[in-house]
Structure 1
Amino acid sequence: MTDTAPADRSRRDYPDRPWVGVGAIVWKGEEVLLIRRGRPPRLGQWSLPGGAQALGETVFETARREVTEETGLTVEPYEVVTVVDAVTRDDAGLVQYHYTLVEVAARWVSGEPVSGDDALDARWVSIDEAATLVSWGETERVIRLSAARRSP
């Protein structure tokens, strides 16, 4: 037995492992839900709602919870669209953030988007408007990929 405490694995900046995050591509008709991020990385940027998966929580449960926390909406996830690596390095080249993002498509069930938790704003937008608002190209790609997979 050792007296050494376990390493702090709760740090999101300069982590010792990648974090699993779940992003939700929420559809209401032809519009997609965007949030304006209230925390780093990408503070202030428009993005998909989402966040870290909790221990014992499925990917779909994470998507539901995160959308509700960030926007107040009720959604029903229905498919994994893709997986994206998000690695942010600092000026010295060290990994400051590392997320493996599972991108999940979901249908709007009820509610109106109201920013909450770590979102500064939340709104429904067209695919073309989303393309002008998001600054990370992967977000636009994921939205368009999900749109192409939807049934008419």
Structure 2
Amino acid sequence: MRREYPPAPLVAVAAFVLRGGRFLLVRRAAEPGRGKWSIPGGVVRLGERLREAVVREVAEECGLIVEVVDLLDVVETIIRDEAGRIRFHYVIVDYLARPVGGTLRPSDDALEARWASVEEALGMDITNTLRRLLEEHGDKLRSLAELWSL
């Protein structure tokens, strides 16, 4: 199914990969949000389970192998063009994860990758969806990031 001007919403996954009091950010190489920082993720493939998609997407975008720990939220991203037509429509299942292997290296899908605290991320050029997630779940993310760094 095409991503731009889709005939139906697309199911996607994303992950807050937590390590050492911080979480993983990628600078998007493609629309929507090209050039903005977000968390790694992407569209679920036909026949792929959600958690499998998280592991695949993080590995593809960042080179890290992750363990998916828990569900964080389910959000919708709907972006319209100037004429009011729906250009992008994603239903995104957001998970919490932690790295268990691999080496951080951005791929073609990510212009850059880095670790950041919630406060640092809020001061960066991040996607609207990530900003909403950080505002709603920032306290939980801070607590878990600290707990998992012990």
TM-score (norm 1): 0.87
TM-score (norm 2): 0.88
**Counterpart contact for 1:103–1:142, Cα < 8 Å:** no
**Counterpart contact for 1:21–1:51, Cα < 8 Å:** yes
SS in 1 for 2:123: helix
- Structure 2 counterpart of 1:96: 87
Fraction of identical pairs, as percent: 41
**Counterpart contact for 1:134–1:140, Cα < 8 Å:** no
Give structure 2 stretches of 5+ with no counterpart. Answer: none
Q: How does 1:51-66 map to 2 (within 5 A)?
A: 51-66=42-57
- How far has the Cα of 1:148 moved from its partner? 5.6
Please give the alpha-carbon distance, in whole angstroms, between the structure 1 residues aligned to 2:40 and 2:110: 8
SS in 2 for 1:39: coil
Please give the alpha-carbon distance, in whole angstroms, between the structure 2 residues aligned to 1:58 and 1:138: 23
Q: How does 1:66-145 map to 2 (within 5 A)?
A: 66-143=57-134, 145=137
Give structure 1 stretches of 5+ with no counterpart. Answer: 1-9
- Structure 1 counterpart of 2:34: 43
Q: Aligned Cα RMSD in Å?
A: 1.6
Cα deviations across residues 59-93 of structure 1 (Å, max 9, x unaligned)?
11111000000000111011110001000000000
- How far has the Cα of 1:56 moved from its partner? 1.2
SS in 2 for 1:24: strand
- Asked which structure has the greater RCO (Cα within 8 Å, sep 6+), the reply is 2
Please give the alpha-carbon distance, in whole angstroms, between the structure 1 residues aligned to 2:6 and 2:128: 24
Instruction: Please say which structure displays the higher CA radius of gyration.
Output: 1
Compared CA separation, residues 29 and 141, structure 1 to 2 (3 A) = farther
Structure 1 residue ranges, 4+ long, deviating more than 4 angstroms after superposition: none
- Structure 1 counterpart of 2:141: 147
Query: Between Structure 1 and Structure 2, which shows a larger proportion of helix residues?
Result: 2
**Counterpart contact for 2:77–2:91, Cα < 8 Å:** yes
